[in-house]
Amino acid sequence: MPHDVIIVGAGPVGLMLACELRLAGTEVVVLEGRAAPPGHAPGVAVNGGVVELLEMRGLMDDCRPDGFEFPMAHFAHVWLDPGRLADRHPYNFSLPHTRLIHHLAERARALGADLRFGHRVRDLAQDADSVEVRTDGPDGERTTRGRYLVGCDGARSAVRRAAGIGFPGHEEPFHGIVADLRIDPDHVLNQHLGAKEHPAGLFAVSPVAPGTVRVLTALFGVEPPSRDGAPSPDEVRDCVRRVADVAFTGGEPLWSARWSNETRLAERYRAGRVFLAGDAAHVHFPLGGQALSTGLDDAVNLGWKLAADLAGQAPAGLLDTYATERRPVGERACRTTRAQVALLHPLTELREVFAELVTFPDVNEYLVTMVGGTDTRYRFTDDGSAHPLLGRRIPGIAAAARSVPDLAAAWASGRGVLLDMGDGPDTRFDLTGWTDRVALVRSKPLPGVDAEALLLRPDGRVCWATRGGDGDDGLAEARAAWFGGPATTD
């Protein structure tokens, strides 16, 4: 029997997708090339968009003890102020991605996902009904068959290559390293905590654990001495000296890696029964946590659609909306991060003009929500007078979840929600036929939500809204368009 879904890659995106599929009851196997979860990962920030998704699924409570709130955001290291936004409170959260991966893996396992480490995918083949992957694993070569396969195997995706999907883009000459060092409290690197741009590039030092700092350097316009293998301690010291003119000795090297200045977008997000998500679909300069928020949003967008298709409940064309909704978001992340790189190197007066511009509240809000991945709006209609929340997640997800326990429970279950904020003693809505996919939740009006009732897809996106005056016009159509027909067993 083929598996329902094979996910390739147990990075944050593959694991998030595994959780989403299991919430919907879909059988899933995750094939990961590494023998075990990574002990090190370069990322330490999750942005407001990721926090919203983790809050929706009740995962933020698991992650919170491992990190701290960081209520700042930046565009090309020009600092913004999320605290000035009126009704949304997206905040960055500092969390080593190894811990995020740990919590997602725990959750995926608890939900019943089959995680298989040490299985590296080499090749795949597909026909009209299934996909077959060939892997090298602990017991040698194996084949695994699934009805769908999702490549979440990162920037060098073997799935993307085997599916024949191009990955056009740009790669600039660039020497980037990231390294963890255990240092004494009086070590010179402790005097350089923070991130700073220099004429040659970037230099950042951030604490990642007591007595351990992460050093990150970016040298623009130069070729690295090598593309393979971890940089040596000498190379790390040399990069720090070249970028920031800081000389240091000592410190115990714990881990180091290279990174590149590459921007690429997959030509397609789907080839037959194969989909791409996360870095396998889009890579760009890592700034503001945009890569991860775009990737996790891919996973949350795709999971319920694949599950509905496999359950025979997907309305016509539902699976195609994954690419039509998500590829433009990936394209925009590529475009806006390239714009940031242009502001970072060479350093010009344009940065000063930008620093002046961000003092305007509208500019601050535009950029905070853009880099935080919270401004995405899917275009469900060309009607310019459509409700402004249509295609968006509602503002203040954490506060909404805290104040309406039934809403938190519905989100944690991965179902759609009909949110009735009307003031009558009884709801006028009847979900008979759809209660397996949509929860009816009653609530007082939520701050910043100018509506009497909303229909939310499982990914939290508003797909129907009424302010009351127009009754329930369009509700049945929206329900059919996103959730399909009634179940016979309700």
Residues in touch with ligand FAD (CB under 6 A): 8-14, 31-34, 42-46, 120-121, 152-154, 158, 178, 259, 278-279, 286, 289, 291-292, 295
| Nearest in space to 61 (alpha carbons), one of 408, 446, 295, 458 | 408
Looking at beta carbons only, is 67 or 395 nearer to ligand FAD?
67
CA dihedral defined by 302, 307, 309, 314, rounded to 10 degrees? -80
Residue with the shortest CB distance to ligand FAD: 11
Axis-axis angle for helices 12-23, 290-310 (nearest 10): 30
Residue with structure tokens 């725990």?
106
Six-digit token pair at 101? 């991966």
Looking at beta carbons only, is 85 or 158 nearer to ligand FAD?
158
Phi/psi of residue 116, nearest 5 degrees: -120, 110
Residue with structure tokens 């009847």?
430
Distance CA 280, CA 326 (A): 13
Minimum CB–partner distance for residue 127 and ligand FAD (Å): 21
Minimum CB–partner distance for residue 135 and ligand FAD (Å): 7
Looking at beta carbons only, is 35 or 350 nearer to ligand FAD?
35
Looking at beta carbons only, is 108 or 292 nearer to ligand FAD?
292
Looking at beta carbons only, is 31 or 314 nearer to ligand FAD?
31
Minimum CB–partner distance for residue 278 and ligand FAD (Å): 2
Minimum CB–partner distance for residue 263 and ligand FAD (Å): 13
Pairing between β-strand 169-182 and β-strand 212-220 as defined by DSSP bridges:
antiparallel
Looking at beta carbons only, is 130 or 206 nearer to ligand FAD?
206
Minimum CB–partner distance for residue 382 and ligand FAD (Å): 32
Minimum CB–partner distance for residue 330 and ligand FAD (Å): 11
Six-digit token pair at 64? 């919170």
Looking at beta carbons only, is 330 or 391 nearer to ligand FAD?
330
Looking at beta carbons only, is 339 or 476 nearer to ligand FAD?
339
What does 269-313 look like in DSSP terms, one character per residue?
SEETTEEE-GGGTEE----TTHHHHHHHHHHHHHHHHHHHHHTT-
E strands, 103-168, in order: 114-117, 120-126, 131-137, 140-151
**CB distance 341 to 334 below 8 Å:** no
> DSSP character for 394?
P
SS3 content of the chain, % helix, strand, coil (to 5): 35, 25, 40
Residue with structure tokens 């009816």?
440
Minimum CB–partner distance for residue 154 and ligand FAD (Å): 3
Minimum CB–partner distance for residue 277 and ligand FAD (Å): 7
Beta bridge partners of 143: 134
Minimum CB–partner distance for residue 18 and ligand FAD (Å): 11
Minimum CB–partner distance for residue 335 and ligand FAD (Å): 16
Looking at beta carbons only, is 67 or 414 nearer to ligand FAD?
67
Looking at beta carbons only, is 158 or 400 nearer to ligand FAD?
158
Six-digit token pair at 308? 């509905």
For the beta sheet containing 45-46, the strands, ordered from the edge strand earlier in sequence to the opposite edge, are 45-46, 92-94, 68-70
Distance CA 436, CA 479 (A): 13
What does 229-248 look like in DSSP terms, one character per residue?
SPPPHHHHHHHHHHHH----
E strands, 307-457, in order: 416-420, 438-442, 453-456
Pairing between β-strand 416-420 and β-strand 453-456 as defined by DSSP bridges:
antiparallel
Looking at beta carbons only, is 135 or 313 nearer to ligand FAD?
135
Minimum CB–partner distance for residue 181 and ligand FAD (Å): 15
Looking at beta carbons only, is 330 or 416 nearer to ligand FAD?
330
Six-digit token pair at 318? 């539902």
Minimum CB–partner distance for residue 11 and ligand FAD (Å): 2
Q: How many CB atoms lie within 10 A of CB 418?
A: 22
